[in-house]
Amino acid sequence: MSENRIEMQQIVDQEEHDFADMKARHFKARAKMALENETLRASFRGASDFLMAKRKSVFPDDEELEALRDRGEAARQRSLQDLPELLEMLEANLTRNGVQVHWAETADDACKIIHGIMEAGNAKTLVKGKSMVSEEIELNHYLEKKGIECLESDMGEYLVQLGNEAPSHIVMPVIHKNKRQIARLMHTRATTPDGEPVPYSEDVDDLIGNARAILREKFRNADAGLSGVNMAIAETGTLLLVENEGNGRMSTTVPPIHIAVTGIEKVVRSLTDVPELLTLLPRSATGQLITTYVNMISGPRQPGELDGPQQVHLVLVDNGRSRMYNHPQLKPTLQCIRCGACMNHCPVYARVGGHAYGSTYPGPIGQVVTPQLGNAGGLAANGDMINACSLNGACGEACPVRIPLPDLIRELRAEAARPATATALGMPVPGTGSRRNLGESLIWTGWSTIYKVPFLYRTSTRLMGLGRSLMPGKLAPWTNTRSMPKPAARSLHQLARDAGVPSTAEEARYQNKQRQAEEK
Amino acid sequence: MSLPDRIYPSRPEQVYLVGTCLVDSFYPDAGMDAIHLLQSCGVQVIFPQDQSCCGQPAWNSGYEDEARAVARTQLEAFAADIPVVVMMGSCAGMMHLEYPRVFAGQPEEKRALALAARTYEFSEFMVNVLNYQPMKDGKTSYQPLRVALHTSCSARRGMQVAAEHKALVESLPGVQVVEPARVTECCGFGGTFSVKQGDISAAMAADKADAMAATGADCIVSADCGCLMNIGGTLEKQGRPMATKHLATLLWESAVEAGK
């Protein structure tokens, strides 16, 4: 250990400051900051390589993988096809099991409902398992303003909370930090149950052991526990939750109140749908055959039982999902099972990391979901983010439920540039047409005008060839890092014409006749 | 592995060649090499002078009407029922996979579907339709050429012709194929992406350039000139230039050499 605790504190404070600074900027500036941060670059490159290799190792057979993906896609599409019916069935069966079901149209509604449950139960502290929907609705922020203490109990989320940052990945929230950064964070910001600073250690077992000791007390004392849901099974009224740390089981069983929060798309009809998706979820996410814990929650403590929460609540969040459901092209957004494989395979995510996106959900699925959410600023606020994709298709290839992510990103770009005169099908995405600006539409109109008229196109390429020596030597941003491409003196159109290559089927026929005549 | 369930026709007498706008202005010799190669296989090549661009740049930017207007011109230029060979995977993907969407519900929908169905990427056509076999017994007068093959993302994941690319290059006498690290990763070109997100694109290109330089290959070969321009341009700017070649040029040079 070369730094003392004071120096470490300064480093950790600086990291917090850098995060806040980055968060306050717009997408391109955030991306640039991330690209220039070598530590961050190394963390994400390492994570991407590791996770891609790990996933590959558990899907050794391509044909089997494709067959599993077909089944996963079918399972998700079946659920979405009957979504309204399944949600009603889920509510009825959960209610029968003693679970209280709440419907939240907006993020704000969801926060209010959760606060209401806490208030009614006189609950002042909330221990949280991992829940991305709780991040999406910005629950911690809301509850803290109401004087409720929220404590993240997933190791990654806990560290992110200690650092006063946000998750940079939906499955591995603290993947942007290396061991040393995490050791500093624990040493400077966490205290043991005895009130002492946690001793400095980069050893993973030490780090986890220290966090465990702190969290055990919190679980014991929390008034309520919150969790996400990976699947809600309609026929049986069961909430399924996968996790690796046991914190999910603790959050959902130790405190007297358990509040589960999830998006309305997570419902499936029957238990037979579970293996279809559970085969894919952990393999795609972390390269595990199965997670350490698979929790099936079917209701509160029954009379005569010794443990379990006295109340179980499910908050079903819409926040724009009904709109996705009604959009003919964007509906597959709801197929997502939140495994994170798309971000693990995305070459842009591997370069800029999760925080650059500035959204709860980063990476390809984040680019697709975020503009469609009810509380994330729509296309107007996320236009640059959806352009941060080379449409290379790696995400679509990795997605276990075959969401056509590149197609959806392109579709959102079209939504963003939709002319005001066009009537969008179904329910439009918030901010439809908001990114159509005069400059860019002029460029594409001009381009279209030339490229749709063959004569104009040929003339312009010819002129470009003639004027090649007059071409500028610099054209930012291309030439900032690349040499300027030089047009050829003569285009292929000219070369082919000169070589007598026929231009039409008729010309080809005529040439053939001539040749036959000559041969005679 | 080509596109699932795609059924290939027997060897046609004629083909249309889509040069693509990038080849047209920046790699026209590659276009002529493709023409000569196809002709040497006994196929008559028609190069419509009325072709321009497939429309992909505007389509991927979300400017659908502008893209459609340009795509419509290609429907006219490639109207006869003749197979269409496209020199780049990216443009082949646009015409084969996207045109049905571009023209969905439009008056030209039927024609667009028909054109999409008879559109093939260059290597796909050479392998699956022409069953191209380079002259194996041809003597090679030169040292083995070390080639770093770059299969574009649209060729690999869109048209799914990575195997065809590899088969063609590996079949050439006197060519040694070397594989760069992270071979399946995007080079960062992505059309308008390279301009709209210049910093991210440049970071991706720099990594790809490193991977290419590390192979020590004599040249980088691809059937997508956007990638070649991006990777080659980055290496050149960094002062460590590597030769770049379209796949058609590599094949034609080898055929000429073998024929000597």
Judged by CB atoms closer than 8 Å, whether chains meet at A444 and B197 is answered as: no
Q: Is B185 on the interface with A (CB under 8 A)?
A: yes
Residue that is written with structure tokens 């069935």 in the block: A89
Measured distance CA(A144)–CA(B162) in Å, rounded: 53
Quickly state the pLDDT bin for B138 (edges 50, 70, 90).
Answer: low
Whether B121 and B225 share a structural domain: no
Greater pLDDT, A466 or A428 = A466
Whether B87 and B163 share a structural domain: no
Whether B81 and B56 share a structural domain: yes
- What ipTM does the predicted assembly reach? 0.96
Find, among A388, A370, A361, the residue nearest to A168 by Cα. A361
Residue B107 lies in a domain: yes
For B52, the closest of A392, A416, A457 (CB atoms) is A457
The residues near A332 (Cβ < 8 Å, ≥ 6 apart) are A403, A404, A408
CA distance A388 to chain B (A): 6
Whether B75 and B156 share a structural domain: no
Find, among A126, A356, A376, A362, the residue nearest to A227 by Cα. A126
Q: What is the mean pLDDT of chain A?
A: 95
The residues near A86 (Cβ < 8 Å, ≥ 6 apart) are A79, A234, A267, A268, A269
Per-residue model confidence as pLDDT tens digits over B23-39: 999 999 999 999 999 99
Per-residue model confidence as pLDDT tens digits over A286-339: 999 999 999 999 999 999 999 999 999 999 999 999 999 999 899 999 999 999
Q: Is B244 on the interface with A (CB under 8 A)?
A: no
Local structure of A94: helix, strand or coil: helix
pLDDT at B20 over 80: yes
The residues near A27 (Cβ < 8 Å, ≥ 6 apart) are A356, A357, A358, A382, A384, A385, A388
Q: Is B50 on the interface with A (CB under 8 A)?
A: yes
Counting runs of H as helices and runs of E as strands, what totals does chain A give?
A: 26, 10
Per-residue model confidence as pLDDT tens digits over B98-125: 999 999 999 999 999 999 999 999 999 9
Judged by CB atoms closer than 8 Å, whether chains meet at A486 and B26 is answered as: yes
Whether B56 and B110 share a structural domain: yes
**Average pLDDT of the segment spanning A261-283:** 98
**CA-nearest residue of chain B to A411?**
B62
Whether B196 and B153 share a structural domain: yes
Residue that is written with structure tokens 């003569």 in the block: A490
Measured distance CA(B100)–CA(B111) in Å, rounded: 9
pLDDT at A209 over 80: yes
Question: Residue A27, Cα to own-chain centre: how many angstroms?
Answer: 16
Local structure of A42: helix, strand or coil: helix
**DSSP assignment letter at A4:** -
Quickly state the pLDDT bin for A2 (edges 50, 70, 90).
Answer: confident
Find, among B92, B23, B105, B96, the residue nearest to B64 by Cα. B105
Going from N- to C-terminal start, the domains of chain A cover 3-322, 456-519
Residue B9 lies in a domain: no
Name residues 118-157 of chain B within 8 A of A (Cβ).
153-154, 156-157
Whether B254 and B167 share a structural domain: yes
Q: How many CB atoms lie within 10 A of CB A508?
A: 20
Whether B200 and B107 share a structural domain: no
Q: Is B176 on the interface with A (CB under 8 A)?
A: no
Whether B58 and B153 share a structural domain: no
Judged by CB atoms closer than 8 Å, whether chains meet at B46 and A505 is answered as: yes
Buried b (16+ CB within 10 A) or exposed e, A19-42: beebeeeebbebbbbbbebeebbe
Whether B250 and B171 share a structural domain: yes
Residues of B in contact with A391 (CB under 8 A): 60, 153, 190-191, 193
pLDDT, residue B140, reads: 56
Determine contact, residues A265/A317, Cβ cutoff 8 Å. no
**CA-nearest residue of chain B to A52?**
B182
Mutate to test the interface with B, among A437, A481, A513 (most CBs of B within 10 A): A481
Of B100, B128, B156, the position where a domain reaches its end is B128
Per-residue model confidence as pLDDT tens digits over B73-104: 999 999 999 999 999 999 999 999 999 999 99
pLDDT at A377 over 80: yes
pLDDT at A427 over 70: no
Measured distance CA(B27)–CA(B49) in Å, rounded: 17
Greater pLDDT, A205 or B135 = A205
Q: Is B240 on the interface with A (CB under 8 A)?
A: no
Per-residue model confidence as pLDDT tens digits over A476-498: 899 999 999 999 999 999 999 99
Judged by CB atoms closer than 8 Å, whether chains meet at A481 and B202 is answered as: yes
Q: Is B197 on the interface with A (CB under 8 A)?
A: yes
Per-residue model confidence as pLDDT tens digits over A354-372: 999 999 999 999 999 999 9
For A482, the closest of B14, B158, B237 (CB atoms) is B237
Element (H, E) at B161: none
Whether B93 and B36 share a structural domain: yes
pLDDT at B2 over 50: no
Range of the domain at B249: 145-258
**Assigned CATH for A3-322:** 3.40.50.10420
pLDDT at B1 over 50: no
pLDDT, residue A226, reads: 98
pLDDT at B217 over 80: yes
Sequential DSSP letters for B55-124: SHHHHHTT-HHHHHHHHHHHHHHT-SS--EEESSHHHHHIIIIIHHHHTTTSTTHHHHHHHHHTEEEHHH
CB-side exposure of A415: number of CA atoms within 13 Å? 30
Q: Which two tokens stand for residue B140?
A: 């090679």
Q: Is B233 on the interface with A (CB under 8 A)?
A: yes
**CA-nearest residue of chain A to B191?**
A390
Mutate to test the interface with B, among A56, A357, A437, A451 (most CBs of B within 10 A): A451
Residue B2 lies in a domain: no
Of B101, B128, B155, the position where a domain reaches its end is B128
The count of domains in chain B is 2
Residue B62 belongs to domain with CATH number: 3.40.50
pLDDT, residue A428, reads: 82
Measured distance CA(A513)–CA(A506) in Å, rounded: 11
**Average pLDDT of the segment spanning A419-429:** 67
For B185, the closest of A347, A501, A505 (CB atoms) is A347
**pTM of the predicted model, to two decimals?**
0.96
**CA-nearest residue of chain B to A406?**
B60
